[in-house]
């Protein structure tokens, strides 16, 4: 199916909401990432290597227990409010928010109690440092307050108030970066750093929760279903997704286990440095997937099948238009990115970064959009099966390729395993819902992004300035100009796409300022080359 216009008024309105929400999430995520990065550097410098190591170890178990105690409730708090409010059932939406919130809070309190009471065992057996037991007890409060914070931010996404979700991210990062250094300087050391950590979630979470229940999710009336019925509905949706998340988390840790056997410390250090840069691509991917989750939740797979399939195809295409060139640009500028931050001693990291970034080329297959789509329509079992398939491929393939090609082999295995899992999910979406990504046009996006890299790569060979930051600025502008020129020329972008993007972005003031010159340039290219 070729790209179509957003001729459905409802679909266009939903898309505008998603774009606006994505912008707020992008701003919140980007600003909080920068603030947290600066705060982490300050904390590390104030504590010193040894104390910072203790601090990092202590918060590991509480953060793990936060994930375990979630049971998929964060996704419940996004999908059901979005779906029920689109159907006009505000009472049940509010009730589901309150029930999911309470259920998540109860589980987190149990997990916190386990962490507190078992601190001696955790410190001695898991952390291998019995002296850290009192700090583990202190850190157990993090489980409750982060759970409250996560529930509030997820609820705001489900309610289409993503500016509040983004604001909470920024608030928490500011509070952590302020509280922890102040308490360390006051002489509390690691204890102060841990207190500052959970206090930031406590303040941000309580503020968000009060705002949520006082203004947006007041107590519901006229509830027709019993609490047990509602809980079964929520768990029936969330539990497969919860298991899928646990599988994905294990997959990440399994990579470290494989590297420990087949790579040197030097290679592992360079690999971890390169992996940190995937956050740059994650800053783009996270708001796209998160904003599209409630968008797909609002569309009925039966009565709105055409809008759903059209929305899926266009979402994959427009996500690809943004993320694929960002992935290629990361490959092209990998040397400058690494050298500008970690220094020239990380000689292997640039090549590792180029290889890792290829994962986001799978956006053309719906890698970024597919989880939001399947979550939105309630196909969480499909997500579970896709993640299990990804793990089943990677378990033998990772060590086999790492044995032959060390870190490069591991990266190849990881990308291939994710490709297999994504293809399975796309197949299920196609068979059950008729939703397919427009592969032909998405390949053209890859072609445009790749061709745009050629002059940039040639220029970088001269390394004219010798300054990584200057190279990033000059090369980035050249790459962006070439990509925006080539995208319409190779057929990656057509007049319908420009009109769709205008429909979505021009009514959102901050995005319109950025979108107007870019879309104006694309329109000029299409007109000048008679590609209307």
Instruction: Tell me: pLDDT of 92 over 80.
Output: yes
pLDDT for the residue numbered 491: 93
In 3D, which of 26, 42, 8, 306 has the Cα closest to residue 170? 26
Q: Between 462 and 195, whose confidence is greater?
A: 195
pLDDT tens-digit series, residues 302-325: 888 888 998 899 889 999 999 999
118 pLDDT tier (thresholds 50, 70, 90) = very high
442 pLDDT tier (thresholds 50, 70, 90) = very high
Please report, for the chain, the start and end positions of each structural domain, with discontinuous segments joined by +. 7-224
Report the C-alpha gap between 198 and 175 in whole angstroms.
10
pLDDT tens-digit series, residues 467-502: 778 888 888 999 999 999 999 999 999 998 898 888
Out of 69-78, 168-177, 497-506, pick the least confident: 497-506
221 pLDDT tier (thresholds 50, 70, 90) = low
Instruction: Tell me: pLDDT of 1 over 50.
Output: no
Report the C-alpha gap between 475 and 292 in whole angstroms.
31
| Average pLDDT across the chain, whole number | 86
Query: Most confidently modeled of 250-264, 433-447, 512-526?
Result: 433-447
191 pLDDT tier (thresholds 50, 70, 90) = very high
Residue 369 CB contacts under 8 Å (≥ 6 apart), including other chains: 288, 289, 292, 312, 315, 316, 319, 363, 437
Residue 324 CB contacts under 8 Å (≥ 6 apart), including other chains: 360, 361, 363, 364, 442, 445, 446, 449
At 69, list the tokens: 């105690």
Angstrom CA distances, 407 to 271, 335, 391, 403, 479, stand at 7, 17, 18, 9, 29
102 pLDDT tier (thresholds 50, 70, 90) = very high
Place of tokens 């690691």: 190
In 3D, which of 130, 3, 5, 149 has the Cα closest to residue 63? 149
CB of 181 closer than 8 Å to CB of 39: yes
Residue 266: CB atoms within 10 Å: 12
2 pLDDT tier (thresholds 50, 70, 90) = very low
What would the DSSP string read from start to end of 265-317?
A: HHHHHHHHHHHHTHHHHHHHHHHHHHHHHHHHHTS-TTTTHHHHHHHHHHHHH
pLDDT tens-digit series, residues 3-46: 455 555 555 565 666 666 666 666 777 777 778 778 877 887 88
């Amino acid at each position: 199916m070729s790209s179509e216009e957003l001729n459905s008024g409802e679909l266009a309105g939903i898309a505008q909401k998603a774009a606006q929400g994505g912008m707020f999430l992008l701003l919140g995520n980007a600003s909080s990432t920068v603030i947290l990065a600066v705060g982490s550097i300050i904390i590390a410098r104030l504590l010193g290597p040894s104390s910072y190591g203790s601090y990092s170890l202590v918060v590991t178990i509480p953060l793990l227990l936060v994930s375990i105690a979630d049971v998929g409730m964060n996704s419940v708090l996004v999908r059901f409010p979005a779906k029920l409010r689109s159907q006009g059932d505000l009472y049940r939406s509010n009730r589901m928010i309150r029930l999911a919130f309470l259920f998540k809070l109860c589980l987190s309190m149990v997990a916190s109690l386990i962490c507190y009471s078992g601190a001696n065992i955790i410190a001695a057996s898991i952390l291998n440092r019995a002296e850290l037991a009192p700090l583990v007890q202190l850190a157990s409060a993090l489980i409750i307050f982060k759970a409250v914070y996560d529930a509030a931010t997820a609820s705001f996404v489900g309610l289409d108030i993503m500016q509040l979700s983004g604001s909470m991210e920024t608030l928490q990062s500011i509070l952590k970066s302020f509280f922890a250094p102040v308490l360390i300087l006051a002489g509390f050391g690691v204890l102060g750093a841990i207190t500052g950590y959970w206090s930031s979630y406590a303040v941000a979470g309580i503020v968000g929760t009060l705002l949520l229940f006082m203004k947006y999710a007041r107590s519901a009336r006229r509830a027709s279903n019993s609490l047990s019925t509602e809980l079964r509905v929520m768990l029936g949706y969330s539990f497969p997704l919860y298991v899928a998340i646990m599988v994905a988390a294990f997959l990440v840790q399994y990579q470290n286990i494989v590297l420990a056997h087949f790579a040197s410390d030097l290679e592992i250090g360079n690999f971890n440095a390169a992996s940190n840069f995937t956050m740059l691509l994650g800053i783009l991917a996270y708001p796209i997937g998160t904003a599209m989750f409630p968008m797909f939740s609002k569309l009925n797979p039966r009565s709105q099948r055409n809008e759903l399939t059209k929305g899926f195809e266009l979402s994959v295409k427009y996500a690809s238009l943004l993320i694929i060139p960002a992935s290629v640009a990361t490959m092209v500028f990998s040397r400058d990115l690494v050298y500008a931050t970690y220094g020239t001693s990380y000689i292997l990291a640039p090549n590792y970064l180029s290889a890792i970034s290829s994962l986001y080329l799978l956006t053309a297959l719906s890698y970024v959009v597919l989880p939001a789509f399947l979550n939105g329509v309630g196909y969480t079992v499909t997500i579970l099966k896709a993640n299990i398939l990804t793990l089943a491929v990677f378990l033998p393939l990772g060590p086999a390729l790492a044995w032959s090609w060390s870190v490069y082999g591991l990266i190849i295995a990881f990308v291939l395993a994710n490709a297999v899992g994504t293809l399975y999910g796309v197949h299920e979406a196609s068979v059950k819902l008729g939703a397919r990504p427009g592969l032909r046009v998405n390949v053209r996006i890859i072609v445009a992004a790749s061709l745009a890299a050629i002059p940039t790569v040639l220029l970088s060979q001269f390394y004219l300035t010798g300054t990584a930051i200057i190279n990033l600025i000059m090369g980035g502008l050249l790459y962006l100009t070439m990509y925006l020129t080539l995208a319409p020329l190779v057929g990656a972008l057509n007049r319908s796409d420009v009109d769709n993007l205008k429909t979505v972005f021009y009514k959102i003031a901050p995005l319109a300022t950025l979108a107007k010159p870019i879309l104006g340039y694309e329109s000029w290219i299409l007109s000048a080359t008679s590609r209307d």
